[in-house]
């Protein structure tokens, strides 16, 4: 089990702004649950179904004399649906886990400007409250969803990294800033 590190940075105490800081890593099951709650896999299934249907329709030809079916395009539709519905979600979770492991040991700050990840005193990523659109809560984690430009992203914040009062504080901050998804 990892040590949980929650403290208030010195500069935040000077300004009087409440800051929540925690350190830890997200597990694969938590990433999967967070992406599922955020709707990533649901959109992927719709894309798989629509693409497979389009490919299958290309393989069907109906005319006055009857119809014909191109078995090659139907098989391609099945492969397309299988890849997008079964393989792609696993690849997304694996890719997200690798990206998270690259920044192992980063501190996460929640303050008045947004959420920031800091590694060795250098800010890796800061997401402002205006970039966040909604959040989802499960019994074990918070998932914050937002947009930066044309990209949609999800940030998974496990409750196991927080003490009970700090998890409630994080929920209250998210509830006051974002809409529940």
Coil vs helix vs strand at 67: strand
How many residues are given for the chain? 181
Residue 167, CA distances (Å) to 48, 93, 157, 163 in order: 36, 24, 10, 6
Question: Which pLDDT does position 17 carry in this prediction?
Answer: 63
Question: Which pLDDT does position 18 carry in this prediction?
Answer: 52
3-state DSSP helix/strand/coil percent for the chain, to nearest 5? 50, 30, 20
Question: Which pLDDT does position 139 carry in this prediction?
Answer: 93
Question: Which pLDDT does position 15 carry in this prediction?
Answer: 37
Beta strand segments in the chain, E: 20-23, 60-63, 66-69, 107-111, 114-119, 122-128, 132-137, 141-148, 151-158, 179-180
Question: Which pLDDT does position 78 carry in this prediction?
Answer: 93
Whether pTM > 0.95 for this model: the answer is no
Tens-digit pLDDT profile for residues 21-44: 888 888 899 999 999 999 888 888
CB atoms within 10 A of CB 27: 16
CB 92 within 8 A of CB 35: yes
Q: Which of 114, 97, 116 is nearest to 106 (CA)?
A: 116
The parts of the chain modelled with pLDDT lower than 50 are 1-16
Question: Which pLDDT does position 1 carry in this prediction?
Answer: 41
């Amino acid at each position: 089990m990892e040590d949980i590190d929650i403290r208030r940075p010195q500069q935040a105490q000077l300004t009087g702004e409440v800051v929540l800081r925690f350190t830890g890593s997200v597990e694969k099951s938590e990433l999967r649950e967070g992406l599922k709650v955020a709707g990533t896999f649901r959109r992927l299934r719709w894309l798989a179904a629509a693409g497979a249907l389009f490919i299958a329709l290309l393989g069907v030809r109906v005319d006055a004399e009857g119809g014909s079916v191109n078995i090659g395009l139907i098989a391609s539709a099945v492969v397309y649906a299988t890849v997008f519905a079964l393989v792609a979600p696993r690849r997304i979770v694996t890719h997200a886990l690798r990206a998270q492991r690259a920044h192992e040991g980063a501190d996460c700050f929640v303050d008045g400007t947004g959420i920031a990840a800091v590694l060795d005193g250098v800010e890796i990523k800061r997401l402002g409250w205006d970039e966040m659109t909604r959040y989802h809560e499960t019994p074990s984690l918070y998932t914050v969803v937002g947009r930066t430009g044309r990209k949609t992203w999800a940030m998974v914040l496990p409750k196991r990294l927080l003490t009970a009062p700090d998890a409630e504080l994080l929920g209250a901050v998210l509830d006051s800033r974002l809409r529940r998804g």
